[in-house]
Structure 1
Amino acid sequence: MTQPLLIVGSYLSPYVRKVLVLLELKGVPYRVAPIVPFFGDEDFGRLSPLRQVPVLVDGDLALNDSSVICQYLEERYPEPRLYPQDIARRAQARWLEEYADSRLGQVIIWQLFNQLVIGRSVWGREPDQEVLRRTYDEDLPEICSYLEGQLPEQGLPFGELSIADISVACFFRNAQFARYRGDAQRWPRLAAWIDTVLAEPAFVRLAAFEMVAARTPIAEQRAALLAAGAPLSERSLFRDEPVRGPMSRC
């Protein structure tokens, strides 16, 4: 019997969420080893040399980086297709995935979510108000205006749900946890797009476990997720004290 895939990472990570959404949409069995990467043990460090999530473990294969993992899943489990078939449109979708992973990652995760959530819960640090001011006044409006210009008047940019929709929506889900929603009057196409994608059943199923993680202290999250019925791995990769990884910006 084929073993479920193992995904290492937090339900609150947009990069982990992207992979889990693909698994949900493709109907692939999986288990999650839920950790905030700062709390990963030595085994986690061996699986993820940059101490970042997600990690996918498929038998003897361990993969890092959400985009690498998603491409692997698309090729191994091709139905339903989540990358456009046309080569030009597929390249455009991959660009929006990269824009999400890099630019939205920088602003929504490392500036907004890090200041308001990670810094407080992991390091006990209060937000840098100047970073937040620049994020709200400059960076987020620039992102929203760019994305607004990439969208059709109605519907999804590639017709059917794709990696582009999933990638961008994953980061705006974290923005919601940090209590940011773009102005729907200023960016109506973007607001409608994000609402449509986050209403997909795959996102809704994961949202229940995200709320458990968001409301629970880090050390207690595994037990709380188990109680909520999350598909967890038997083994934990958790350590008691946080450690910064080589690529950490915290």
Structure 2
Amino acid sequence: MSEPVTIIGNYLSPYVRKVLVCLELKGIPYRIDPIAPFVGNEEFSRLSPLRRIPVLLDGGLVLNDSTVICEYLQDRYPDPSLYPSGAVPRAQARWLEEYADSQLGDVIVWRMFFQKGVRRFLFNEGTDDDVVRKARDEELPVALDYLESQLPERGWIFGELSIADITLAAFFRNAVFVCHDVDASRWPRVAGLLERAWALSAFQTLATYENDMLRTPLDQQRSVLAAMGAPLTETTLGNAPARYGMRRLA
């Protein structure tokens, strides 16, 4: 195994979580600079021109976008495979990954988690309760209805654990952060998949860090993570004043 790769991005981001779970499952050593994109300095802007997380550094290689990163990791470290075999199931898995990145990103991350967490604690701005209510009561149920129609009654979506299972579970973790659980009586297939995925040691390992980060101000998170033994980089790019960047976190 080569030198550890470096990941730039916060543990509370579902896009970062997706990449970290892939690294954990493949046994790839990594270090992390757990910044939010809103506090990235000029070097962060150079590495991530859209000011999105995650960013992967592997030697001289710089990659942006969680989907691109996960596909690179699969190509370079093919075992265990986290993509189905066969053109059709692989395409279907990539679609579910994109659906999560796009639709669940909008609904869960931006209209729920950002409104109730990031906007209030990082920017000292009020929560738009109408946005949260519409996302929770109208938009998320539509997404759940669709996903319920796509998932099997039991097991993983394509028989073996894949990027589709990982990505869906990564995004619904952020719904839990704002106290919203999937109703198992209404969406049993989604709820069952999440339960199975979150029980994996990869998700459990990350949850230890995530749960503490939720209770820790952003400027104190690095020191708390260091005390917990997180695999941190020696330096950080997250030392600039908070400012809005590009909307999607990649």
TM-score range, shorter chain: over 0.9
Offset, 1:161 = 0.6
Question: Match for residue 176 of structure 1?
Answer: 176
Question: Match for residue 196 of structure 1?
Answer: 196
**Aligned mates of 2:193, 2:2 — CA distance in 1:** 36
Give the match's secondary structure for 1:160.
coil
Offset, 1:248 = 6.4
Map 1:123-202 onto structure 2 (within 5 A). Answer: 123-202=123-202
Letter in structure 2 aligned against 1:231: P
Give the RMSD, CA atoms, in angstroms.
1.2
**Aligned mates of 1:119, 1:196 — CA distance in 2:** 31
Question: Match for residue 244 of structure 1?
Answer: 244
**Aligned mates of 2:172, 2:87 — CA distance in 1:** 27
**Aligned mates of 1:177, 1:21 — CA distance in 2:** 18
Offset, 1:240 = 4.3
Question: Match for residue 215 of structure 2?
Answer: 215
**Aligned mates of 1:248, 1:63 — CA distance in 2:** 16
Give the match's secondary structure for 2:183.
coil
Stretches (4+) displaced over 6 A: none
CA deviation map 1:161-215 (0-9, x unaligned): 1000000100000110011112111111111111111111100011111112111
TM-score by length of 2: 0.97
In structure 2, the gaps of 5 or more residues are: none
Conserved 8 A contact 1:219-1:240: no
1:78 matched to 2:78? The reply is: yes
Offset, 1:2 = 3.0
1:248–1:67 Cα change, 3 Å? closer
In structure 1, the gaps of 5 or more residues are: none
Aligned length: 249
1:248–1:17 Cα change, 3 Å? closer
Letter in structure 2 aligned against 1:163: I
Percentage of matched positions with identical amino acids: 55
Question: Match for residue 97 of structure 1?
Answer: 97
